[in-house]
Amino acid sequence: MVAAAAELVSLVGAPLPYPFDDSGRRWIEYRPRTRPGVALATLDVPARKAAYRLLATGLSPHAYAQALAIVSLEEVLDRAEGFVRGRHLEDYWVSVFGTPSSSAPWSWRFEGHHLSVSMTVVGSAVSPAPVFFGANPARVGYGAHTVSRPLAPEEDVAFALLAALSPTERSLAVVADEPPADIASGTSPSAGFLEPAGVSATSLNPAAGALLASLVEVYLDRLPSSLAESLSPSLESLRFAWAGPERVGVPVYYRVQASDLLIEYDNTAGGNHAHTVLRRPSADFGADLLAEHRRAYHLGVNPGG
């Protein structure tokens, strides 16, 4: 990750890197809005490839494929809208904050419409959140066939979990008849525990409990295994909540929470426009690593050791 970021900075030059304390570091924006960073559209091919190589260091192989499918949907959506908004697959932005190194804190972000990946690095430790994946259209079909569906696991495992719940478990899990318009954490730089919490994992039958664990794995497995392992919560601490109908193809919402984990999914606009996010309420944007770094620095301990 250090090498990939250093290569990007060397190829792009100013304004990278931004100062680590730049106000744009704690930022998540998955809507088609103006955002800080350097646009891929302004980069030559070597620099653009370096940006994608940096993104690849923070994602597992299949999640990297999901991310690139999400990027390509800009052109699909532009055609569906009659080419009136000028959406394009180079309207993604990359930022590096601080100097990529083996000691001082630094971070990077790759972001655009329906994709936002932030990583904070201190020494050899990486804090990998928030990670937002969306898709519009969520599904492109040809007759009964699916041509494109980047977020299929996030939807399929959740519906399997819902189907495995007993009537009593479902009554606790379903917290609203209608889904919210968007994920609750939205574009806020901080996220907290959301109410109502839904059903506790300790209340689930074995089949539903196993599927809840699998759903968490779907989101953690967006990350390389070395990063995902450090985030795994205990199954007993998880809560699952659902809002909306209990069928595919209509607007629905769910979330999974633990003390330091927030997973959200919503599918709006007729059930074909999905937003998903993996967040760590106490550790988004490296809050955990930076607090440890400050304590070590204050005590005169090498923070990279």
Tell me, yes or no, whether 165 and 257 share the same domain: yes
Q: Higher model confidence: residue 258 or residue 304?
A: 258
Q: Specify the pLDDT at position 230.
A: 79
Tell me, yes or no, whether 125 and 9 share the same domain: yes
Q: Specify the pLDDT at position 41.
A: 98
Q: Specify the pLDDT at position 231.
A: 86
Tell me, yes or no, whether 65 and 157 share the same domain: no
Tell me, yes or no, whether 154 and 125 share the same domain: no
Q: Which of 253, 246, 247 is nearest to 268 (CA)?
A: 253
In this structure, is residue 112 part of a structural domain?
yes
pLDDT per position as a tens digit, 250-277: 999 999 999 899 999 999 888 999 999 9
Q: Specify the pLDDT at position 257.
A: 97
Query: Is pLDDT above 80 for 295?
Result: no
Q: Specify the pLDDT at position 302.
A: 47
Tell me, yes or no, whether 112 and 184 share the same domain: no
Tell me, yes or no, whether 123 and 166 share the same domain: no
In this structure, is residue 287 part of a structural domain?
no
Alpha carbon 121 to chain centroid distance?
A: 17
Q: Specify the pLDDT at position 233.
A: 85
CB of 92 within 8 A of CB of 112?
yes
Q: Specify the pLDDT at position 102.
A: 77
Query: Is pLDDT above 70 for 299?
Result: no
Structure tokens at 59: 């994602």
CB of 240 within 8 A of CB of 161?
yes
- The span from the first CA to the last CA of the chain, in angstroms, equals 18
In this structure, is residue 298 part of a structural domain?
no
In this structure, is residue 56 part of a structural domain?
yes
The beta-carbon contacts of 290-297 under 8 Å, at least 24 apart in sequence, are 290/105, 290/120, 290/122, 292/122, 293/105, 293/122
Could you tell me the residue range of the domain that residue 57 belongs to?
2-129
In this structure, is residue 251 part of a structural domain?
yes
CA angle 66, 239, 194 (to 5 degrees): 85
CB of 205 within 8 A of CB of 161?
no
Tell me, yes or no, whether 8 and 51 share the same domain: yes
pLDDT per position as a tens digit, 144-172: 999 999 999 999 999 999 999 999 999 99
In this structure, is residue 140 part of a structural domain?
no
Indicate the helix (H) or strand (E) that contains 245: none
For residues 259 and 118, give the distance between their C-alpha atoms in angstroms, rounded to a whole number: 20
Q: Specify the pLDDT at position 75.
A: 98
Give the residue-averaged pLDDT of 178-187: 96
Q: Specify the pLDDT at position 78.
A: 97
Q: Higher model confidence: residue 291 or residue 172?
A: 172
In this structure, is residue 138 part of a structural domain?
no
Tell me, yes or no, whether 155 and 277 share the same domain: yes
Tell me, yes or no, whether 42 and 118 share the same domain: yes
pLDDT per position as a tens digit, 195-207: 999 999 999 999 9
* Percent of the chain surpassing pLDDT 90: 89
Q: Higher model confidence: residue 303 or residue 169?
A: 169
In this structure, is residue 294 part of a structural domain?
no
Tell me, yes or no, whether 125 and 159 share the same domain: no
pLDDT tier at 303, thresholds 50, 70, 90 = very low
pTM across the whole model? 0.94
Last residue of a domain, one of 129, 162, 188: 129
Q: Considering its fold, how many domains does the chain have in total?
A: 2
Question: Which residues on neighbouring strands pair with residue 135, listed in sequence order?
Answer: 274
Name the burial class of residue 187, with classes exposed (0-12), middle (13-18) and buried (19+) by CB atoms within 10 angstroms of its CB: middle
Tell me, yes or no, whether 70 and 184 share the same domain: no
Tell me, yes or no, whether 49 and 7 share the same domain: yes
